[in-house]
Amino acid sequence: MSYRSSLSAVLADVVAPAAEVTGGQGRFPRAAVTALGRAGLLGLTAPAADGGGGRGSAEAAEVVARTASVCPATATVLTSHFAAVAALGMYGSAWLRGEIAAGRHLATLALGEGGPGGSGLAGERADGWPLLPGEGGATAVRRGDVVSLRARRRGVVAAGEADSYLWLSEALEPSRPTEPQVPSGSSRRLAGGGGGTLWLVPAHASDLFVPARPCGGGPSGSGTSTVCADPVLVPADAMLGPDGAGLDIVLGVVRPWLLELTDAMAAVVPRDDEVLSGQARFADASSEGGGPEDARSGDGRSMDGRSGGAGSGDGDLRACRPAGTLAAT
């Protein structure tokens, strides 16, 4: 069966029947994600050598657009997943690439700085100038074989629902330049090699959590919220690519996919605050936020039974839930 036929079946049998509940009640589309994985669509863009579909961004954009016409929340989840897989297919471990190809792993992006709106890319100031090492707040400190990551990432799609987060921090060994370079198009980076470092942060990592009152900005049900590491510990081999090359990977690999997929979704769904997630707003160079949301219980649902959804502000960080309370995909 072709991926188009598989997608048609999943949209008709799983996504469409749940779309009203997903959007109206803000429930994360877990059944849709599971079905997409089993149909080979989560692994559509994974390298063929790893058992994936080997398709490119054009096919991914088609899947996102068709899904958006039925359920914007599910399309937003796919957008973040496909953009993350673009980097993970190049830099992820063989085991991880195999899990993605098999449709058993949902990835997402945790790249935005913890500033107002949360749509800025780590490594850039709100005015577009590169950050000097030490200014971004997304620290990484290595002690032996363990790295301590500390940051607050806003506008994260599928927060508390994904299996892993593509995470950008400051470089472990940045070199502080005397003056930042002037950004030019997509080649913006930190001068002096301080271009940040990319990590794979698993959802089950200890001390990774989502505030009870999430900061959203994506469609209701997309699970767009804040993810906090205060700090979270990951093995040193969780690094993706060389130390200091993270921003180059994000701008050269992730961002082009994110732009194309966001455009595909925007062609179907109006481009406004209820549709664009924080990561999509990063691709679109906007910084608008969302509205408040109810607190969630420990199992990831709101106190009134809802799940996912948009919000504004981080809410009460004393009442939070782990970022890894997931059902297997």
Provide the pLDDT confidence category of residue 211 given band limits of 50, 70 and 90. Answer: confident
164-169 β-sheet, strand order: 107-110, 164-169, 197-202, 239-240
Rounded to whole angstroms, the Cα distance separating 294 from 307 reads 9
> What single-letter amino acid sits at 3?
Y
Short-list 109, 25, 32, CA closest to 70? 32
Query: Which band of pLDDT confidence, cut at 50, 70 and 90, is reported for residue 271?
Result: low
Cα 187 from Cα 303, distance rounded (Å): 44
pTM exceeds 0.85, yes or no? no
Short-list 240, 303, 287, CA closest to 85: 240
Both tokens of 64, joined, read 């996102």
Contact 99, 139 (CB under 8 A): no
**How confident is the model over 107-152, as pLDDT tens digits?**
999 997 643 323 344 444 443 433 433 444 588 999 999 999 999 8
Alpha-carbon span 257 to 67, nearest angstrom: 17
Contact 170, 139 (CB under 8 A): yes
Rg of the chain over all Cα atoms, to the nearest angstrom: 18
Question: What's the pLDDT score for residue 137?
Answer: 58
Q: Are strands 239-240 and 197-202 parallel, antiparallel or unpaired?
A: antiparallel
DSSP tag of 299: T
pLDDT in tens, 213-259: 655 578 999 999 999 998 999 999 999 999 999 999 999 999 999 99
Residue 136 burial by Cβ neighbours in a 10 Å radius (0-12, 13-18, 19+): buried
Which tokens sit at 19?
A: 């779309």
Residues in the chain: 329
DSSP notation for 178-211: SSPPPP-GGG---GGG---EEEEEETT-TTEEEE
Instruction: Assess contact for 294 and 304: CB atoms under 8 A.
Output: yes
Distance CA 114, CA 137 (A): 8
Both tokens of 58, joined, read 């054009």
Task: Supply the angle between the helices 57-68 and 3-10 in degrees, to the nearest 10.
Answer: 20
pLDDT reported for residue 196: 92
Q: What is the per-residue pLDDT for 147? A: 96
**Residue 310 identity:** A
User: What SS3 state is found at 79?
Assistant: helix
- Largest pairwise CA distance in the chain: 58
In the beta sheet, which residues pair with residue 301? 307
| Per-residue confidence (pLDDT) for residue 315, from 0 to 100 | 40
The answer for residues whose C-beta is within 8 angstroms of residue 184's C-beta and 6 or more apart is: none
Alpha carbons 155 and 175: distance in angstroms, whole number = 29
Phi, psi of 75 (to 5 degrees): -65, -35
pLDDT greater than 60 at residue 37? yes
279 neighbors 109 (Cβ within 8 angstroms): yes
Bridge partner list, 239 = 199
